[in-house]
Amino acid sequence: MENKVNLSKKSKSFTGIKSSGLVMLACLVLAILIYQFILGNPANFLNGDPKNHPLEGNFLGLIYKGGIIVPIIQTLLLTVLALSIERFFAIKTAYGKGKLVKFVAELKSFLSKGDIKGATALCDNQQGSVANVVTSALVKYSEVEEDKTLSKEQQILAIQKEVEEATALELPMLSQNLPIIATIVTLGTLMGLLGTVIGMIKSFASLAGAGGTDSVALSAGISEALINTAFGIATGALAVVSYNYFTSKIDSITYCIDEVGFSIVQTFAASHK
């Protein structure tokens, strides 16, 4: 059976946004615009003045009363949403065109038969990170097979090294921007707590004011405290869900790469005694 593999180019696919700082900057600008012109719209408040209480049942005006911390937390929330969408498409591309489990099963079937040419064609059709790693390994498979100067052990080590190097090139692109989402898990909660502290300080300041309790200032301070707490918790919770979801997806891809890499090495060892 002909095992020679033609060198094929790796699939070019969407690998994600590298300038995460620009994403955060854009989210900050958008958050400020939302805070000023949507949440702070005079129509949301009594007598059309943002300094007054929000209209009864007006949720936008209530959020506006959260104060200066609101656009900061909004920035973090929008960043999580933007990077989550970006990671979704990047990892979806990394999975390839078909179901990854089916691809691995079919690939192992080709390898068990020693059909390297068929395995390569399957990778070309599948594309994605796993297919890229396997294609590199199969190319190395053909190269070491023709190199009669290498011992069997050296040939196997060369294939294993190729799998490891190809994997090292693919995996960093999959986890790109996830550290930022992981940071927002904590940062979002902390910003919410900071807003809570600021709001409570205003509340106690109104209680200590001369001439009795200022009910307007007191209620504004409590609203600011509670709104920022809610926003901070919601942002942190979304970031946790996003981070864990994409991490599990990357783990699945890593497992498939390891499984297929082992199969390629075993196929070579079994067919070259």
User: What pLDDT digit, counting tens, does each position of 239-250 carry?
Assistant: 999 999 999 999
Of the ranges 12-16, 23-27, 116-120, which one carries the lowest mean pLDDT score? 12-16
Q: Return phi, psi of residue 14, to 5°.
A: -70, 120
Quick check: is 48 in a domain? Answer: no
Residue 200, pLDDT score: 82
pLDDT above 70 (res 112)? yes
User: What would the two tokens of residue 194 be?
Assistant: 């900071």
Quick check: is 170 in a domain? Answer: yes
Q: Residue 26's pLDDT band (boundaries 50, 70, 90)? A: very high
Residue 67 · residue 95 · CB < 8 Å: no
Residue 218, pLDDT score: 67
Quick check: is 187 in a domain? Answer: yes
Alpha-carbon distance 91 to 108, whole Å?
A: 23
Question: What is the domain range of residue 181?
Answer: 80-273
Q: Please give the sequence-ordered ranges of beta strands (E in DSSP) within the chain, or none if there are none.
A: none
Quick check: is 18 in a domain? Answer: no
Quick check: is 43 in a domain? Answer: no
- Average pLDDT along the chain: 85
Render pLDDT for 72-103 as a digit per residue (tens, 0 to 9).
999 999 999 999 999 999 999 888 888 888 88
Render pLDDT for 161-186 as a digit per residue (tens, 0 to 9).
999 999 888 888 888 899 999 999 99
Burial class (CB in 10 A: 0-12, 13-18, 19+), 257: buried
Number of domains in the chain: 1
Residue 244, pLDDT score: 97
Residue 145, pLDDT score: 83
Mean pLDDT, rounded, for 19-41? 93
Q: Which amino acid is at 154?
A: Q
Alpha-carbon distance 224 to 125, whole Å?
A: 55
Mean pLDDT, rounded, for 224-243? 90
Quick check: is 41 in a domain? Answer: no
Quick check: is 51 in a domain? Answer: no
Quick check: is 61 in a domain? Answer: no
Q: Residue 67's pLDDT band (boundaries 50, 70, 90)? A: confident
When comparing pLDDT for 217 and 193, which is higher? 193
Mean pLDDT, rounded, for 108-137? 88
In the chain, the N- to C-terminal Cα span, in Å, equals 16
Alpha-carbon distance 196 to 229, whole Å?
A: 6
Mean pLDDT, rounded, for 31-35? 96
Mean pLDDT, rounded, for 119-126? 90
Q: Residue 55's pLDDT band (boundaries 50, 70, 90)? A: confident
